[in-house]
């Protein structure tokens, strides 16, 4: 049975998934496909929460977080990458070409350049104008990430989290994000933290999180989801446990959102969110689509 498929977070996943599907179609691996999806999104200037064109911190500096994972012992991550749009690719280099799991800041940039990535300015002129406008209008903190989930507003995008399965049945995951818009300099979210933004166990399943990283990091969101699967829970029940844990243990504000996406080794998947607005992009041999989550804890 064909299980090959890619699922990724938010609307921008739809076009980014096509880059990954090309890889799977040619017989490529799930990690190659997940990386290709991230690369496409990182170069999409419309995506203001990922890669080039991502919104900066409060000082106007764009810093990127990302990670990749195949399983325990096979993962890599970068945080506060400042001069290369391809956080997921550099994370993969960390996994494959270093003795480490996570590189940050200047060291991450140096590592990227040593491995062939050109030094690049990540702040586009359009985003610089938006940052200046944000400062002119008072520079209030925007909770959530990317454009921020603001209560009462329509869906926006955030971290792209990608889960893929190839024809060998190998699961892989990747995330890439510019993090919370206008964040404190030095802030790192859940996206580069294994077990928080992403966790993959090849025998059990893979989970990614998107939304307000501080909430996900409080409950080890992706690790918790996979551990619930390991205990025999369904994907929906596992996601519900994570989201309810967040709701119970933290002060969740109207502007906060968290969504979780799970892919199982049989190719089936499920998603859930605290609020309306989150969508999953799916591509497989029958086509592509955007899907509403099967569970929303606080529907509007």
157 interacts with ligand GLY by CB under 6 A = no
User: Judging by beta carbons within 10 Å of its beta carbon (0-12, 13-18, 19+), is residue 224 exposed, middle or buried?
Assistant: buried
205 interacts with ligand GLY by CB under 6 A = no
Q: How far is the CB of 222 from ligand GLY (least distance, A)?
A: 11
> Which is nearest to 237 in space by CA: 247, 227, 229?
229
213 interacts with ligand GLY by CB under 6 A = yes
**Of residues 30, 191, 222, 257, which one binds ligand GLY by CB under 6 A?**
191
177 interacts with ligand GLY by CB under 6 A = yes
Q: Which stretch binds ligand GLY (CB under 6 A): 99-107, 134-142, 185-193, 235-243?
A: 185-193
Q: Which stretch binds ligand GLY (CB under 6 A): 19-27, 40-48, 186-194, 277-285?
A: 186-194
**Of residues 8, 11, 63, 145, which one binds ligand GLY by CB under 6 A?**
145
What distance, in Å, lies between the first and last C-alpha atoms of the chain? 39
> Shortest Cβ contact with ligand GLY: which residue?
189
Q: 78-107: b or e for each residue (b if 16 or more CB lie within 10 Å)?
A: bbbbbbbbbbbbbbbbbbeeeeeebbbeee
- Contacts with ligand GLY by CB under 6 A: the residue count is 13
Instruction: Determine whether 159 is an active site residue.
Output: yes
Q: Which stretch binds ligand GLY (CB under 6 A): 39-47, 107-115, 211-219, 274-282?
A: 211-219
179 interacts with ligand GLY by CB under 6 A = yes
159 interacts with ligand GLY by CB under 6 A = yes
189 interacts with ligand GLY by CB under 6 A = yes
The side-by-side arrangement of strands in the sheet containing 205-211 is 198-201, 205-211, 258-263, 269-275, 295-298
**Of residues 30, 89, 176, 210, which one binds ligand GLY by CB under 6 A?**
210
Give the CA distances from residue 97 to residues 112, 131, 184, 199, in Å, rounded to whole numbers and listed in that order.
Answer: 11, 36, 31, 20
Structure tokens at 69: 């994972």
Q: Which is nearer to ligand GLY, 147 or 177 (CB)?
A: 177
User: Judging by beta carbons within 10 Å of its beta carbon (0-12, 13-18, 19+), is residue 124 exposed, middle or buried?
Assistant: middle
CB 85 within 8 A of CB 112: no
Contacts (Cβ under 8 Å, ≥6 apart) of 298: 274, 275
**Of residues 13, 211, 235, 272, which one binds ligand GLY by CB under 6 A?**
211
Distance in angstroms (rounded) separating the CA atoms of residues 70 and 166:
12
Return the DSSP state at 192: T
Return the DSSP state at 116: T
**Of residues 4, 44, 57, 190, which one binds ligand GLY by CB under 6 A?**
190
257 interacts with ligand GLY by CB under 6 A = no
Q: Which is nearer to ligand GLY, 28 or 146 (CB)?
A: 146
> Which is nearest to 229 in space by CA: 210, 203, 211?
203
* Residues within the interface to ligand GLY (CB under 6 A): 145, 158-159, 177, 179-180, 189-191, 210-213
Residues noted as catalytic: 159
């Amino acid at each position: 049975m064909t299980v090959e498929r890619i699922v990724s977070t938010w609307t921008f996943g739809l076009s980014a998934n096509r880059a990954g599907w090309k890889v799977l179609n040619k017989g490529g691996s799930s990690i190659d496909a997940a990386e290709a999806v991230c690369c496409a999104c990182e170069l999409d200037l419309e995506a203001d929460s990922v890669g080039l064109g991502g919104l900066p911190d409060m000082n106007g500096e764009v810093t990127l977080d990302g990670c990749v994972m195949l399983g325990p012992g096979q993962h890599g991550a970068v945080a506060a990458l400042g001069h290369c749009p391809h956080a997921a690719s550099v994370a993969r280099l960390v996994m494959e070409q270093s003795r480490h799991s996570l590189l940050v800041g200047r060291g991450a940039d140096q590592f990227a350049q040593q491995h062939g990535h050109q030094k690049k300015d990540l702040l586009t002129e359009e985003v610089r104008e938006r940052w200046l406008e944000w400062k002119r209008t008072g520079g209030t903190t925007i909770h959530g990430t990317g454009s921020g989930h603001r209560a009462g507003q329509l869906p926006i995008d955030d971290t792209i989290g990608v889960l893929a399965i190839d024809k060998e049945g190998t699961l892989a995951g990747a995330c890439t994000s510019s993090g919370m818009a206008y964040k404190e300099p030095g802030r790192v979210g859940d996206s580069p933290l294994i077990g928080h933004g992403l966790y993959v166990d090849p025998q059990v399943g893979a989970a990614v999180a998107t939304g307000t990283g501080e909430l996900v990091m409080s409950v080890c969101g992706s690790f918790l989801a996979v551990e619930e699967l390991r205990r025999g829970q369904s994907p929906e029940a596992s996601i519900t446990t994570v989201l309810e844990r967040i709701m119970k243990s933290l002060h969740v504000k109207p502007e906060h959102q968290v969504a979780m996406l799970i892919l199982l080794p049989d190719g089936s998947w499920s998603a859930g969110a605290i609020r309306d607005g989150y969508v999953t992009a799916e591509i497989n041999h029958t086509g592509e689509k955007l899907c509403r989550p099967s569970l929303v804890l606080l529907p509007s």
